[in-house]
């Protein structure tokens, strides 16, 4: 979490840094700060979002050809002006921004206090900065050497960017566990947590790896490892366009991304799904068919919304491929001593490709001999690079903090992977296989159709916005969709919501049901629909208010529902991609009706790079 930006070159650094920080606010927005090298070092920082800092800086001298900027998601120390980055070293000559956590900061701080250092913040970051300064002074070495020595003693994760008043024009950066991209321009370099701050200036980037250090000047980029050996930067071409990270006429990125789903799902299927010839082309699967077909067990690792995609995949893989599947929260898996046996396949699912828990969990499983297949959205991200093979979701940049289009693209990829394995394994009949390909192919058009219910969903949101608790229920493939619907509502509108398997509702949540509890049922026509209708009756008998997602022209849920949202009929393996759309819109419109900043929900961050 936290967004970092840096610039050194021939342009004014401040506007580039501020614009870059706005693009990185999805990573955290508790406080903002900028440090500029003009004649001397200037640091401006403040609690609040980037726009708030910008307002307070009107009239200030913001000149400078090099600088660094930070948007924070607080870990150590509450969000306030002092804890905002950049931090300045005790001498006032160095400024540093940090994304990550220094786990042994307490012992380093004690050591520094005993040497007379004072601290102005509660952060682990200020400790690291002064530790670097102490080494620089004591060893009488340059900043680069001091950073290298300091990092050998640091436990934790970091991307750090440092500037030095005595060395204007140079930014020194280092990474372990948090992302860092360097953009290469003409007589200028850009640094960022991702490539979005540099998109309009360059398409050439270097993804810095763990334990690497970059010395960045306007005309020079030197990459080294912590052993001081020079490395050759691997320059890659970006294929993201600026339009992809702009709102394109929508009020919020979240709504834009919900509306993009017919296109993103289509893009995800394009070039892979060939209905006419009955094939699915996925190089990552094709090249590793042996491992995937003969997998003992598939273990799916993910967090948040991606974990919900994993739960749906469990149903799909077990049904189509007859492979045993376990779905684990990466954060729990990594701290157990999980049993990995030869033949285990790990599928890691992540939009950002940077979620710390997922990354470490797959690194651990890899060490134990598992084969890692990554399903990731961000090209070149850490999880993509750590996986042995994988498939990108091609959903484009997702900026709204609550995941929408990445989720449906994950489901599209997972369904294709399952179908391909099932076909090769012979666990699916030809007829069912062909029908599933057709069903998948029809998803984008059906999603467009569901989006036509926008106004209806908006009016339902208006009606229910003041309720303080919601229950979401579904069975089978629709149970994870109930979880996802509830998560969306919590994230966006701060209304408490729980998702449950519809039958399990009788073992607890039913005690909550009265006329003040809206219950959202995902009650589309599938093999369990009669059972779901019985559960709806049980809620209705207790005066719960029922909002139902039903299949078009299916009348079975009409009499028990207070509100109805219809979706086109679909096979149950692709239905989750459709059924989640009304729930995304419902959460969005309730959030808007309550005046929430749906793109930047409080306390959340899009890319969780701390444990
Ligand atoms: C955060 C985001 C969620 C996301 C989760 C996992 O909590 O707010 O939208 O689902 O992280 O992120 P990943 O990038 O690994 O899918």
Of residues 215 and 602, more confidently modeled: 215
Residue 204's H or E segment, with its range, is: strand 204-207
For residue range 23-67, list pLDDT tens digits in order. Answer: 998 888 889 999 999 889 999 999 999 999 999 999 999 999 999
- My answer on whether 326 and 470 are in the same domain is no
Confidence of residue 594 (pLDDT cuts 50, 70, 90): very high
- My answer on whether 159 and 293 are in the same domain is no
Is residue 606 assigned to a domain?
no
Contact 309, 302 (CB under 8 A): yes
Which residue, judged by its Cα, is nearest atom 2 of ligand 1? 606
Is residue 610 assigned to a domain?
no
Instruction: Note the residue count of the chain.
Output: 611
Out of 2, 268, 303, 436, which one is annotated catalytic? 2
For residue range 249-283, list pLDDT tens digits in order. Answer: 899 999 999 999 999 999 999 999 999 999 999 99
Is residue 177 assigned to a domain?
yes
DSSP state, 86?
P
- Model pLDDT, residue 27: 85
Q: What is the DSSP string of 217-275?
A: ETTEEEEEETT--EE---EEE----GGGGS-TT-SSHHHHHHHTHHHHHHHHHTTTEET
**Coil, helix or strand at residue 312:** helix
Alpha-carbon distance of 195 to 202, in angstroms, equals 9
- pLDDT for 517 beyond 90: yes
- My answer on whether 102 and 151 are in the same domain is yes
Q: Who's near 213: CB < 8 A, 6+ residues apart?
A: 144, 147, 148, 151, 172, 173, 174, 223, 224, 225, 226
351 CA distance to ligand 1 middle (Å): 7
Mutational test site, ligand 1, from 334, 608, 610, 611, max ligand atoms within 8 Å of CB: 608
Which residue, judged by its Cα, is nearest atom 1 of ligand 1? 606
395 CA distance to ligand 1 middle (Å): 14
- My answer on whether 272 and 317 are in the same domain is yes
Confidence of residue 503 (pLDDT cuts 50, 70, 90): confident
303 CA distance to ligand 1 middle (Å): 6
| Distance, C-alpha 79 to centroid of its chain | 22
Contact 264, 408 (CB under 8 A): yes
- pLDDT for 394 beyond 90: yes
- Model pLDDT, residue 243: 73
Is residue 607 assigned to a domain?
no
Alpha-carbon distance of 303 to 605, in angstroms, equals 13
- My answer on whether 423 and 514 are in the same domain is no
**Torsion angle of the four alpha carbons 260, 262, 266, 268, in this order, in degrees rounded to the nearest 10:** 50
Return the structure tokens found at 359.
């990354």
Confidence of residue 413 (pLDDT cuts 50, 70, 90): very high
> What is the domain extent for residue 288?
248-441
- Model pLDDT, residue 29: 85
Confidence of residue 244 (pLDDT cuts 50, 70, 90): confident
Alpha-carbon distance of 311 to 305, in angstroms, equals 10
Question: Is the peptide bond between 365 and the residue preceding it cis, with omega within 30 degrees of 0?
Answer: no
Q: String of b and e for 346-381 (b: at least 16 CB within 10 Å)?
A: bbbbbbbbbbbbbbbbbebbbeeebbbbbbbbbbbb
Return the structure tokens found at 518.
């809206």
DSSP state, 197?
G
Angle between helices 124-139 and 105-114 (to 10 degrees): 50
Out of 22, 49, 256, 606, which one is annotated catalytic? 606
Ramachandran sector of residue 96 (left: φ over 0; alpha: ψ -120 to 50; beta: rest): beta
Is residue 611 assigned to a domain?
no
Please report the atom of ligand 1 found closest to the CA of residue 403. 9
- My answer on whether 230 and 256 are in the same domain is no
Look at residues 97, 117, 275, 288 and name the one whose alpha carbon lies nearest to residue 193: 97
- My answer on whether 218 and 99 are in the same domain is yes
340 CA distance to ligand 1 middle (Å): 25
605 CA distance to ligand 1 middle (Å): 8
Confidence of residue 470 (pLDDT cuts 50, 70, 90): very high
- pLDDT for 241 beyond 80: no
Is residue 54 assigned to a domain?
yes
Confidence of residue 239 (pLDDT cuts 50, 70, 90): confident
Contact 83, 122 (CB under 8 A): yes
Please report the atom of ligand 1 found closest to the CA of residue 402. 9
Please report the atom of ligand 1 found closest to the CA of residue 305. 10
> E strands, 293-408, where?
297-302, 324-329, 344-350, 371-376, 389-392
494 CA distance to ligand 1 middle (Å): 17
Q: Who's near 262: CB < 8 A, 6+ residues apart?
A: 444, 445, 447, 448, 451
For residue range 561-593, list pLDDT tens digits in order. Answer: 999 999 999 999 999 999 999 999 999 999 999
Point out the domain boundary residue: 406, 441, 476: 441
607 CA distance to ligand 1 middle (Å): 6
383 φ, ψ to 5°? -70, -35
CATH of the domain at 130: 3.60.20.10
- Residues 283-306 have a mean pLDDT of 95
- My answer on whether 89 and 187 are in the same domain is yes
- Model pLDDT, residue 486: 98
Mutational test site, ligand 1, from 2, 352, 413, 490, max ligand atoms within 8 Å of CB: 352
Mutational test site, ligand 1, from 193, 303, 399, 413, max ligand atoms within 8 Å of CB: 303
Is 606 catalytic? The answer is yes
37 CA distance to ligand 1 middle (Å): 35
Return the structure tokens found at 395.
């959903």
451 CA distance to ligand 1 middle (Å): 24
Alpha-carbon distance of 38 to 454, in angstroms, equals 51
- My answer on whether 424 and 511 are in the same domain is no
Radius of gyration of the chain (CA): 25
Alpha-carbon distance of 239 to 243, in angstroms, equals 12
- Model pLDDT, residue 291: 96
Sheet order of strands, 40-47 included: 40-47, 31-38, 66-72, 3-8, 189-192, 181-184, 204-207, 235-237
Contact 399, 599 (CB under 8 A): yes
- My answer on whether 407 and 459 are in the same domain is no
Is 176 catalytic? The answer is no
**Coil, helix or strand at residue 335:** coil
Point out the domain boundary residue: 186, 218, 238: 238
Task: Write out residues with Cβ below 6 Å of ligand 1.
Answer: 303-306, 350-352, 355, 358, 401-403, 604, 606-608
- Residues 349-374 have a mean pLDDT of 94
Q: Who's near 308: CB < 8 A, 6+ residues apart?
A: 407, 480, 481, 483, 484, 487
- My answer on whether 491 and 537 are in the same domain is yes
Which residue, judged by its Cα, is nearest atom 15 of ligand 1? 350
Angle between helices 575-593 and 478-493 (to 10 degrees): 20
**Torsion angle of the four alpha carbons 465, 522, 307, 238, in this order, in degrees rounded to the nearest 10:** -80
Is residue 145 assigned to a domain?
yes
Return the structure tokens found at 362.
């797959």
Confidence of residue 450 (pLDDT cuts 50, 70, 90): very high
Q: Who's near 468: CB < 8 A, 6+ residues apart?
A: 495, 496, 516
Mutational test site, ligand 1, from 310, 329, 348, 351, max ligand atoms within 8 Å of CB: 351
Contact 581, 482 (CB under 8 A): no
Point out the domain boundary residue: 189, 217, 238: 238
- Model pLDDT, residue 157: 86
- My answer on whether 97 and 199 are in the same domain is yes
- Model pLDDT, residue 242: 76
Domain count, the chain: 3
- Model pLDDT, residue 457: 98
CATH of the domain at 269: 3.40.50.10490
Is residue 304 assigned to a domain?
yes
Residue 536's H or E segment, with its range, is: helix 529-541
Share of the chain above pLDDT 70, in %: 100
101 CA distance to ligand 1 middle (Å): 18
Angle between helices 405-425 and 430-451 (to 10 degrees): 170
Look at residues 167, 163, 161, 207 and name the one whose alpha carbon lies nearest to residue 184: 207
Question: Considering the chain, what is the average pLDDT of its residues?
Answer: 94
Please report the atom of ligand 1 found closest to the CA of residue 355. 15
Stretch among 107-116, 407-416, 525-534, 600-609 having the lowest mean pLDDT: 600-609
Look at residues 32, 25, 26 and name the one whose alpha carbon lies nearest to residue 48: 32
For residue range 122-149, list pLDDT tens digits in order. Answer: 999 999 999 999 999 999 999 999 999 9
Return the structure tokens found at 10.
């021939």
């Amino acid at each position: 979490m936290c967004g970092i930006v840096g610039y050194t070159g021939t342009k004014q650094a401040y506007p580039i840094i501020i614009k870059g920080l706005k693009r990185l606010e999805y990573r955290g927005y508790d406080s903002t700060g900028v440090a500029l090298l003009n004649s001397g070092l200037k640091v401006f920082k403040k609690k609040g979002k980037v726009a708030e800092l910008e307002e307070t800086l009107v009239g200030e001298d913001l000149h400078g050809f090099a600088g660094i900027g930070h948007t924070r998601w607080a870990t150590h120390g509450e969000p306030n002006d002092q804890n905002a980055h950049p931090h300045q070293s005790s001498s006032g000559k160095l400024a540093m921004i940090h994304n990550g956590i220094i786990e042994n900061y307490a012992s380093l701080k004690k050591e520094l206090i005993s040497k007379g250092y004072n601290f102005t913040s509660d952060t682990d970051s200020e400790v690291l900065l002064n530790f670097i300064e102490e080494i620089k002074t004591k060893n009488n070495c340059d900043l680069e050497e001091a950073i290298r020595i300091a990092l050998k003693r640091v436990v934790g994760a970091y991307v750090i960017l440092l500037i030095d008043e005595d060395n204007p024009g140079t930014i020194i950066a280092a990474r372990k566990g948090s992302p860092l991209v360097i953009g290469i321009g003409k007589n200028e370099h850009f640094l960022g947590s991702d490539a979005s701050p540099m998109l309009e200036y360059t398409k050439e980037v270097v993804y810095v790896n763990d334990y690497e250090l970059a010395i960045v000047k306007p005309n020079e980029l030197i990459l080294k490892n912590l052993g001081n050996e020079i490395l050759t930067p691997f320059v890659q071409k970006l294929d993201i366009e600026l339009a992809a990270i702009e709102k394109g006429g929508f009020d919020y990125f979240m709504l834009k991304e919900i509306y993009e789903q017919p296109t993103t799902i289509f893009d995800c299927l394009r070039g892979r799904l060939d209905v006419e010839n009955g094939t699915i082309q996925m190089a990552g699967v094709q090249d590793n068919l042996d491992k995937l077909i003969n997998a003992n067990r598939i273990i799916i690792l993910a967090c948040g919304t991606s974990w919900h995609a994993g739960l749906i995949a469990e149903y799909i893989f077990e049904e189509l491929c007859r492979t045993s599947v376990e779905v684990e929260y990466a954060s729990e898996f990594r701290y157990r001593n999980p049993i990995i046996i030869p033949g285990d396949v790990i599928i890691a699912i992540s939009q950002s490709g940077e979620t710390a828990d997922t990354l470490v969990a797959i690194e651990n499983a890899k060490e134990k001999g598992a084969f890692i297949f990554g399903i990731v959205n961000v090209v070149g991200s850490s999880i993509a690079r750590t996986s042995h093979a994988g498939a990108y979701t091609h959903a484009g940049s997702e900026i709204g903090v609550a995941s929408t289009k990445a989720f449906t693209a994950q489901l599209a990829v997972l369904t294709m992977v399952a179908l391909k394995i099932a076909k090769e394994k012979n666990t699916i009949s030809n007829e069912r296989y062909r029908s599933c390909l057709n069903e998948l192919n029809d998803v984008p058009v059906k999603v467009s159709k569901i989006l036509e219910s926008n106004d209806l969903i908006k009016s339902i949101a208006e009606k229910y916005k003041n309720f303080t608790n919601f229950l979401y229920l579904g069975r089978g493939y629709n149970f994870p969709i109930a979880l996802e619907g509830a998560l969306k509502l919590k994230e966006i509108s701060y209304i408490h919501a729980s998702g449950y398997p519809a039958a399990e509702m009788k073992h607890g949540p039913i005690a909550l049901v009265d006329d003040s509890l809206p219950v959202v049922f995902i009650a589309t026509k599938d093999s369990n629909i009669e059972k779901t209708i019985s559960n709806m009756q049980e809620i209705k008998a207790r005066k719960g208010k029922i909002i139902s997602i039903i299949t078009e022209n299916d009348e079975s849920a009409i009499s028990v529902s207070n509100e109805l949202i219809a979706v086109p009929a679909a096979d149950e393996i692709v239905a989750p991609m459709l059924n989640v759309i009304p729930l995304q819109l419902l959460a969005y419109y309730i959030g808007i009706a309550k005046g929430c900043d749906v793109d930047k929900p409080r306390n959340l961050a899009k890319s969780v790079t701390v444990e």
